[in-house]
Homo-oligomer: A and B are copies of this chain.
């Protein structure tokens, strides 16, 4: 399995070669084409995906046909419909590829099994989840307090490379601003 993945884990917890071999045995590599779906609303979302290459988005398709983007994920990030994934309930989100992608997949069952076998991995996922929680709290505060131009500036400084890789309308959706506002801000 990829050396990048080992580095990703070892940012939080060091692994022996044997431990990394164990971890790797729980993941499956998948190649996907642009526009392909990893999760579809209404279906189960048993897998969590670590992105080795490419760019994806998780979004809600509203009844009025509008796509509301909840999350992007590029190299070194994780993505799925987490509510569906953790609860084994049907997904409400869609996850699809905005570029050709290469991901590593692990099922929720295997994640629990691996965590039980190797506490280091339970530790890894606890720390990742904590970091994710804090990032979402920041985003909520930003949605509640910041003006559109501040949200756009923050996005620019946090994720400069995403701006280059996705259509502006997707960034507008993620930020909760109109396309016209975003055009004005980024023009």
For window 160-187 of chain A, which residues contact chain B by CB distance below 8 Å? Answer: 176
Q: Is A70 an interface residue (CB 8 A)?
A: yes
Nearest CB in chain B: distance from A87 CB, A: 8
Q: Is A144 an interface residue (CB 8 A)?
A: yes
Report 29 cross-chain contacts, Cβ distance below 8 Å, ordered by A residue: A60-B141, A60-B145, A66-B145, A68-B141, A68-B144, A70-B140, A70-B144, A71-B137, A82-B130, A82-B133, A82-B137, A86-B130, A86-B131, A116-B123, A119-B119, A119-B122, A122-B122, A125-B126, A126-B126, A129-B130, A129-B133, A133-B133, A133-B136, A136-B136, A139-B140, A140-B140, A143-B143, A143-B176, A144-B176
CA distance A58 to B122 in the complex (A): 28
CA distance A140 to B133 in the complex (A): 12
**Which residues of chain B come closer than 8 Å to A139, judged between CB atoms?**
140
The A interface is mostly helix, strand or loop, or mixed, namely helix
Asked if B82 contacts A134 (CB within 8 A), the reply is yes
**Which residues of chain B come closer than 8 Å to A87, judged between CB atoms?**
134
When the two chains form the complex, which single residue of B71, B116, B125, B134 contacts A83, counting CB atoms closer than 8 Å? Answer: B134
For chain A, give the interface size range.
20 to 34
Asked if B123 contacts A68 (CB within 8 A), the reply is no
CA distance A119 to B66 in the complex (A): 44
**Which residues of chain B come closer than 8 Å to A71, judged between CB atoms?**
137
**Which residues of chain B come closer than 8 Å to A122, judged between CB atoms?**
119, 122-123, 126
Nearest CB in chain B: distance from A71 CB, A: 8
Asked if A123 contacts B115 (CB within 8 A), the reply is yes
For the complex of A and B, the 6 pairs showing the least CB-CB separation, nearest first, are A129-B129, A136-B136, A126-B126, A144-B176, A83-B134, A143-B143
CA distance A71 to B137 in the complex (A): 9
**Which residues of chain B come closer than 8 Å to A138, judged between CB atoms?**
83
